[in-house]
Amino acid sequence: MKKTSDLKLPTAKKISEGTGNGGEFHQFSGRTHPELTTQQGQPISDDENSLKLSNTSRPGPVLLEDFVLREKINHFDHERIPERIVHARGAAAHGYFELTDSLEKVSKARVLSKVGEKVPVFVRFSTVAGNAGSSDLARDVRGFAVKLYTQEGNWDLVGNNIPVFFIQDAIKFPDLIHAAKQEPDRGFPQAQTAHDTFWDFVSLTPESTHMLMWIMSDRAIPRSFKNMEGFGVHTFRLINAAGDTTFVKFHWRPKFGLQSVIWDEALKISGGDPDYHRRDLWNSINDGKLPEWELAVQLFDEDFVNKFEFDVLDATKLIPEEQIPLRVIGRMVLDRNPTNYFSETEQVAFMTQNVVPGIDFTNDPLLQGRNFSYLDTQLSRLGSSNFAQLPINTPKCPMMNFQRDGHMQFQTPPGRVSYSPSSLEPNTARENPDTGFTSAKEHIEGDKLRVRPELFADHFSQARQFFFSQTETEQNHIVSAFIFELSKVETKDVRVRMLGQLANVDMGIAKRVADGLGMPGKIEKVATTVPARTDLPESPALSILKKAKTSLEGKVIGCLIADGTDAATVVGLGKAAKKAGADLKIIAPKIGGAVAKDGSVIDADFQLAGGPSVLFDCIFLALSADGASTLSTEAAAVAFVHDAFSHLKVIGATSEAQPLLDKAGVVTDKGVVIGKNGLAAERFLNQAAIGRIWEREPSVRTVY
């Protein structure tokens, strides 16, 4: 078994004896770095692995006695007051979950057994790295946290919109976030990973490679929250009434389908509307276009675990849907916006430890650490051990225990008994071994070790599988994202090392990135114990475009007007868009609207400078000849059309709008639909339902 600490790190300059934070450190013979210690000064032997009861084949549970893990995460959890350290920028909504297919045979959880029963939910979406004031469209993994208020207590399914994660062991989480956050000496860059410390860390952490492929893909710049998938990330256990267990992974699949934006578009949206995602969520619910997801599960047994190529307890790995198909068991609908952002969205406290009888944990070392960290974080952030009494966190089922007093106690428990067992009062709470939470029975033998199982050592095979499961367009975007991010890295050695890690995935990918960076020459692979497998089959389910839906439902059409526009064209387009489930928004040179050809006033939703085309899924130019001529001299109008074309959007236009199309450099292709007045509308909407014109991309930007 190979320890992560055996990895060869770059040699540092020898450090002479000196003073550290308030005390001396001593340079031991042959070492080039000072010793890493706890806050109490104890030298740390392994900062890569939490202490587990382990054997050579499977990780065991993380041990409570691991004071190194507890101190490190405890300190990290308390670094910010009161803003969340991670997932600070969020938006949320109320709704319900309804079970449609019972899992009673594999779980005794009521929420997974009673078909037709609706359970209230509160869902919070968020970016991870940015502070509360950052932009919604940062390239980042998105938090997808669901609190289900079940009849057996709160169940928090605290996941992301990406099914894997950067690290395998929770002890590395503080390091990951410190590296990704703004650099501590300068306080920037904020809400982005395109800087030295992040890429230095991941280039030295090969287990991050699979996640890097996802984070450099279009999954990291979603069109909206309602166009994201959600994942529980970890493998959990289900327990039935007989005590039998089944492994499970949880998936949320969006009704509106997967959709992302283009990177240049994301940058411009951040300037045009940094609240783009939260505004879309709020407006969608307000307008009755309710976001909805299917809950699906992957169920598997110990036999599959033993045959699977990787360890199901490794959070940097996934199980392809082609190997374990998804089984849809329910649906979640968000139908009510928060009444107060602070009281609900900010004060909601999610914790992975919140499960109900019939659902249990596994020995995934990242999950085990999260179970400790989330409670500790809430205690710090919300200032009291009574945070569960806040209305947004309070269960909607009976609650009774002997926890008393504390800062901000809202309850007034009656009686003299606050302990168990007791005999002085007849109605005090008692444990119930029949219905209460019980852990899965598991026989474990092993030594107390800071190690990782051998199956955790393959860091590149699934990264390769993910890349080659994408369409050519999506692969190009991943390569471009690596080029963009690494071009922001000032330290050449970090870029060289990252190319060496990419070469472990595929030399072709590494060479394409190197070419885009202007770094010719031989690429040396970083040493690895397990080379990438080339025999893993493609998984189409990993691609956004391979499972894209043809629909206008939930999309927003931007219609540009000016004085002289034909009102009937706009009205007809609006009716057709509504019938297709889309919204039509009117953009005019002035917010007061424009005077139509018939003398009526067409009201506007956006003033041109404040309504750039990046805010819309497709655009229609409903212009007269005079209107087009006037707007052709207006930079904002030219940019409106040019950006839509370069962002591969479908453009509809009246024939009179041609001068503006020409000025914006629009070249006619299947995504440019022109017709007399309203005659183009139907053809435009049919084409827009298909989505972006990916064939246009090589003509508008360099593809490496």
Paired sense of beta strands 447-449 and 594-595, if any: unpaired
Query: Mind spelling out the 3-state secondary structure of 354-378?
Result: CCCCCEECCCCHHHHHHHHHHHHHH
3-state SS record for 65-107: CCHHHHHHHHHHHCCCCCCCCCCCCEEEEEEEEEECCCCCCCC
CA distance linking residue 57 with residue 49, whole number of Å: 15
User: Contact 680/659 with Cβ under 8 angstroms?
Assistant: no
**What one-character DSSP code corresponds to residue 480?**
H
> Considering Cα of 301, then 306, then 307, then 310, what sign does the dihedral take?
positive
CB atoms within 10 A of CB 380: 15
- Rounded to whole angstroms, the Cα distance separating 539 from 470 reads 8
- Give me 656's structure tokens: 């009179």
- In whole angstroms, give the CA distance from residue 310 to residue 249: 15
Q: Report the C-alpha gap between 456 and 309 in whole angstroms.
A: 10
In whole angstroms, give the CA distance from residue 345 to residue 332.
18
- For residues 148 and 330, the answer to whether their CB atoms sit within 8 Å is no
Using DSSP bridges, classify how beta strands 672-675 and 651-654 pair: parallel, antiparallel or unpaired. Answer: parallel
Query: Cα 566 to the chain's mean position, in Å?
Result: 43
The values of phi and psi at residue 518, to 5°, are: 70, 40
Angstrom distance (rounded) from CA 692 to CA 270 = 20
Structure token pair of residue 654:
């009246």
Residues 6 or more apart whose Cβ sits within 8 Å of residue 303: none
State the pairing for strand pair 327-336/292-300. Answer: antiparallel
Tokens 């979603």, residue located: 222
Task: Establish how many alpha carbons lie within 13 A of residue 111's alpha carbon, considering only the half-sphere containing its beta carbon.
Answer: 26
Checking phi first, is residue 564 left (phi over 0); if not, alpha (psi -120 to 50) or beta? left
Q: Which residues, 6+ apart, have CB-to-CB distance to 6 below 8 Å? A: none
Q: Could you tell me whether strands 118-127 and 90-99 are parallel, antiparallel, or unpaired per DSSP bridges?
A: antiparallel
Does residue 242 contact residue 536 with C-beta atoms inside 8 Å?
A: no
Q: Is 215 exposed, middle or buried (0-12, 13-18, 19+ CB in 10 A)?
A: buried
Q: Which of 49, 154, 160, 363 is catalytic?
A: 160
Which two three-digit tokens encode residue 373? 């960290």
Which residue spans within 245-396 are E strands per DSSP? 245-254, 292-300, 327-336, 359-360
- Of 87, 110, 156, 163, the C-alpha closest to 353 is 156
195 is catalytic: no
C-alpha span between 289 and 262 (Å, rounded): 24
Beta bridge partners of 129: none
87 as an active site residue: the answer is yes
Q: Two tokens at 184?
A: 């501590």
* E runs forming strands in 524-590: 556-560, 583-588
Which of 49, 74, 87, 154 is flagged as catalytic? 87
**What does the block give as tokens for 450?**
């800071």
Residues annotated as catalytic (active site), given as ranges: 87, 160
